Amino acid sequence: MCRIPFLIRSIERIDRGAELVIGSRTSGKAEKGALLLQAKVGNYIAVKLLNIFLKGYVFTDLGPFRGVLSSSLYKLNMRDKTFGWTVEMQGKAILAGLKCAEVSVSYKKRIGTSKITGTIKGTLLAGYHIISMIFKLRFLKNV
């Protein structure tokens, strides 16, 4: 899969003022079997919680592709080194008042087995870290 179109569309969005651009798989075309059921459900729950708890930009995905201005990235003071980093970035972007945007991305079936959605342990750990991060961002001051 060629990612150049995502890069071009991300740069265009950044040129128009966006500081964080997320590649949304949910608004793009996904090859059959590309997103496993647990990934779809987990992503849906996480995005809904993020959008309910942190008012600002309404995301559709915890997308795998991102474009972010380096100056904006430094403002976010990213800390999570586990599965929660994706939602941490998006949540902190909302809290910092960054201008966010999404562009649709196509998504193909993975070659091999995912360490996250390919195992029960990975799915549960990722879910725990992602949901925990959303609650930390909502209820704690210094995350």
83, 126 contact by CB (below 8 A): yes
Residue 31 belongs to domain spanning? 4-139
Q: Could you tell me which residue, 117 or 99, shows the higher pLDDT?
A: 99
Given a cut of 50, whether residue 1 has pLDDT beyond it is no
pLDDT score of 19 more than 90: yes
Per-position DSSP letters for 24-85, written without gaps between them:
ESSSS-B-TTSS-HHHHHHHHHHHHHHHHHS-SS--S---SEEEE-HHHHHHH-----STTH
pLDDT at 115: 66
Residue 66: left if φ>0, alpha if ψ -120 to 50, beta else—which one? beta
Of residues 56 and 99, the one with the higher pLDDT is 99
Per-residue confidence (pLDDT) for residue 38, from 0 to 100: 83
- What is the residue-averaged pLDDT of the chain? 88
Average pLDDT of 104-126? 78
- pLDDT tens digit string along 23-78? 998 887 777 877 778 888 999 999 999 999 998 899 999 988 899 999 999 999 99
pLDDT at position 116 over 80: no
Q: Which of 52, 138, 133 is nearest to 88 (CA)?
A: 133
Q: Is the dihedral of CA 75, 94, 10, 130 positive or negative?
A: positive
Buried b (16+ CB within 10 A) or exposed e, 1-27: eeeeebeebbeebbeeebbbbbbbbbe
Compare 72 and 119 and report the one with higher pLDDT. Answer: 72
Is the pLDDT at 3 greater than 70? The verdict is: no
Run of H or E including 101: strand 100-104
Tell me, what's the pLDDT at 72?
Answer: 96
Nearest to 111 by CA among 33, 17, 8: 33
Specify the number of domains making up the chain: 1
